Chain A
């Protein structure tokens, strides 16, 4: 978290890390350290609130290419500002949301999309959660069925319904204990 926030931080120009990664980071941060204090500037905002809302939603889907894991909506890098202005221009020109995203992707590559589109090389990424769920359910069900089978083989462990006599006895015990402190479980 700490380092993440640091890297995200726009002005962390002099992060002291002795690694090459640190040096690279310092370069990136230096590129990013230009004046502005925050992302969307007052002068960028479109007069039409509906169009502006769409622009913001699209901005959240686009990566600031010179930042660490930051959308152009959150970043104050000059490149992010250029992209935000581009998005708004395309919207004013009448593009749909999908068209704007495609326009930016054609120029900057797939890396710019924070939600990778479904394709062969992202197939595993998208089906992984479903796959993981299926595997977990399947493995659990199999283990459970095995255990039931094993328990059925050893009659003493099998879950059997109570006989009516046992039910009566149970009810008596429960009635006796009515009002006691609750049974700890």
Chain B
């Protein structure tokens, strides 16, 4: 009954979305206020119905209703509650329901918080947003319906793949989708503005918070996935340049460029073409990510050809929205009045460079991901494009970007002073040099470019600090004054510095752990000791243990440094009850200097166990960097000027005499 209610709510939501797609847009065209106004309740109603649909599917999962085919395929009655809930989006059909739910959530947010949007713009935005919803709800109902019943119902379900039964992975898809789908708002705004033929700084001020929110979620979502791969897959890898990872990385790169373009447009009314094109591109790439993952085309071109129904549907959606957006742009491009003149060396100029490098990087990932597919379907030749390709192409593009990054915020709008910025970055550059020479001197191993990479990360981090220091005039005014200035800084300025600091952390983590990872692969018997990166690790032995829905073999290791015990590690090998699948759980001792990472292998015929011990230096910086970027985004979002609809703070009249 509950399931039918959800099914019915989904169909009703589709009808509402069709209504929301047509009526407000027609109202905007005929300038009829009443028709335009229906977009708002329609968006809220659509959200309400999708919440009902999503909740009813969740109830089916929580109560283990095995008369529903989707629950049978992906759940089991003995699964812990958290994973019965996350099982809702741990499969294709359910994840698409989450997709449209988040889409409706963003649409409803525009309806609810966009009270001071111009009515025609708001009507058009809601109509475009509804058109995306219509496409995806049709996709669900026609090709991937999660509400289908099964008769007779089996006694129990097949269970969720055990490696998905993990807290980080339970929340990875919702964040990723919030990112993907959040960019739909930027797309809807861009298309609505193109329909109206009017686009200005006020428009950019509207788009930026939504883009920022989506970007934050995507950043965190990707980081969670990477973190999960690191601790769960059992060999300490955190990024593999896999097509499905690239599918989420491309919208991130384009979205980062979009974020910066919207900033220029808001402040200086420039980079309109960049902003509009990036808004269309970013969401198109999100759709492409959905297509790549959902169509099965990545597994094999042939498998896709065998069962193309879903893939072709998503491909059609993608073509429609990308093509439609670009066609509209081509029609209206001439109407985009260009404002905001600037010299090449200026804040605007630096952001243009940022856009060029990020979009080129995005194009590189795009080509690397799709080239083998295209080549195979055109000529039948099979080639592999793996991590070495991306290291060679993506890496070099990041070097100029990271070198230029600290200069950007230090340049003035319109016309900047590179020498002045360089002077203010002198300390950061010196620090980077010292770190580079220090790394070379101390380690004397690894790739010769690695110390340069680490120095680059340090330069970006120190550059972000220098930016804040020069804004508060640290050193040239008393410390108290500097602190007062820091508090008075616009939060978006602090957000910028913090986000760039996070980028630097990420770079340091990536380079350090890639270049200086230590590894020992050996056979150990109980009582034996292995030394790595200053740790002495003693193998105590292996014992069986039983968990809530698995059995495991647990190895016990004690790690000591300089004679004092610092950690107790318990890597294990599990067999889950349902489905009966093995997983390896790594034993990890986290630290600022780096992680100790121990994996238990097979028992050897000659006695003892195969053991792998890693030391991953500064690996935490990778995810901490992403978390810092997320926090920076939140900080910037809390800026009053960005809070849509918040009254601007009255300009403070300076009453105190100049000190």
Kindly state the separation between the CA atoms of A5 and B399 in the bound complex, as whole angstroms.
28
A15 touches B161 (CB 8 A): yes
Q: Which partner residue on chain B sits nearest A23 by CB separation?
A: B303
Contact mask for chain B residues 219-247; partner A; CB cutoff 8 A; 1 contact, 0 none: 00010011011001111010010111100
Enumerate chain A residues within 8 angstroms of B73, measured Cβ to Cβ. 16, 18
Question: Contacting A129 at CB < 8 Å: which of B338, B364, B485?
Answer: B364
Contact mask for chain A residues 68-86; partner B; CB cutoff 8 A; 1 contact, 0 none: 1111001000000000000
> Which of the segments A90-98, A145-153, A164-172 contacts the partner chain?
A145-153
Enumerate chain A residues within 8 angstroms of B132, measured Cβ to Cβ. none
Enumerate chain B residues within 8 angstroms of A39, measured Cβ to Cβ. 235
Q: Does B469 contact A (CB under 8 A)?
A: no
Q: Does B444 contact A (CB under 8 A)?
A: no
Q: Does A60 contact B (CB under 8 A)?
A: yes
Kindly state the separation between the CA atoms of A40 and B364 in the bound complex, as whole angstroms.
31
B599 touches A3 (CB 8 A): no
How many chain A residues sit at the interface, stated as a range, is 35 or more
How many chain B residues sit at the interface, stated as a range, is 35 or more
B360 touches A20 (CB 8 A): no
A109 touches B382 (CB 8 A): yes
Enumerate chain B residues within 8 angstroms of A176, measured Cβ to Cβ. 658
A60 touches B388 (CB 8 A): yes
Count of chain A to chain B residue pairs whose CB atoms are closer than 8 Å in the complex? 229
B234 touches A37 (CB 8 A): yes
Question: Contacting A110 at CB < 8 Å: which of B229, B310, B381, B485?
Answer: B381
Within the complex, the shortest CB–CB distance from A129 to chain B, in Å, comes to 4
Question: Contacting A116 at CB < 8 Å: which of B267, B385, B659?
Answer: B385
Enumerate chain B residues within 8 angstroms of A12, measured Cβ to Cβ. 161, 163, 581
Enumerate chain A residues within 8 angstroms of B306, measured Cβ to Cβ. 20-21
Q: Does A41 contact B (CB under 8 A)?
A: yes
Enumerate chain A residues within 8 angstroms of B245, measured Cβ to Cβ. 1, 4
A21 touches B303 (CB 8 A): yes
From known contacts A1-B245, A42-B523, infer whether A113 and B384 are also in contact, taking CB-CB under 8 Å: yes
Q: Does B483 contact A (CB under 8 A)?
A: no
Kindly state the separation between the CA atoms of A178 and B473 in the bound complex, as whole angstroms.
12
Question: Contacting B222 at CB < 8 Å: which of A1, A109, A180?
Answer: A1
Within the complex, the shortest CB–CB distance from B199 to chain A, in Å, comes to 16
> Which of the segments B113-121, B293-301, B501-509, B621-629 contacts the partner chain?
B293-301
Interface residues of B in 472-490 (CB under 8 A from A): 472-473, 484-485, 488-490
B299 touches A21 (CB 8 A): yes
> Which of the segments B52-60, B182-190, B207-215, B367-375 contacts the partner chain?
B367-375
Enumerate chain B residues within 8 angstroms of A42, measured Cβ to Cβ. 521-523, 604, 610
Q: Does B164 contact A (CB under 8 A)?
A: yes
Within the complex, the shortest CB–CB distance from A132 to chain B, in Å, comes to 4
From known contacts A9-B233, A38-B584, A60-B387, infer whether A69 and B242 are also in contact, taking CB-CB under 8 Å: yes
Within the complex, the shortest CB–CB distance from B231 to chain A, in Å, comes to 12
Max chain B Cβ within 10 angstroms of own Cβ: one of A13, A19, A144:
A19
B356 touches A16 (CB 8 A): no
Kindly state the separation between the CA atoms of A185 and B412 in the bound complex, as whole angstroms.
9
Within the complex, the shortest CB–CB distance from B355 to chain A, in Å, comes to 8
B161 touches A114 (CB 8 A): no
Kindly state the separation between the CA atoms of A56 and B44 in the bound complex, as whole angstroms.
57
Interface residues of B in 301-343 (CB under 8 A from A): 303-304, 306-307, 310, 338, 341, 343
Q: Does B99 contact A (CB under 8 A)?
A: no
Q: Does B525 contact A (CB under 8 A)?
A: no
Question: Contacting B92 at CB < 8 Å: which of A6, A13, A17, A177?
Answer: A17
A116 touches B389 (CB 8 A): yes
From known contacts A37-B602, A42-B610, infer whether A21 and B386 are also in contact, taking CB-CB under 8 Å: no
Interface residues of B in 590-647 (CB under 8 A from A): 599-602, 604, 610, 612
Q: Does B9 contact A (CB under 8 A)?
A: no
A20 touches B225 (CB 8 A): no
B343 touches A128 (CB 8 A): no
Q: Which partner residue on chain A sits nearest B484 by CB separation?
A: A181
Within the complex, the shortest CB–CB distance from A38 to chain B, in Å, comes to 6
List, sorted by A's number, 19 A–B pairs whose CB atoms are closer than 8 Å.
A1-B225, A2-B164, A2-B173, A4-B245, A14-B161, A14-B579, A24-B300, A38-B235, A38-B584, A42-B521, A61-B388, A109-B382, A121-B379, A122-B371, A128-B367, A129-B367, A140-B356, A144-B352, A159-B341
Chain A residues within 8 Å of B, Cβ to Cβ: 1-9, 11-22, 24-25, 35-42, 45, 60-61, 63, 68-71, 74, 109-116, 121-122, 124-126, 128-129, 132-133, 136-137, 140, 143-144, 147-148, 150-151, 157-159, 176-182, 184-185
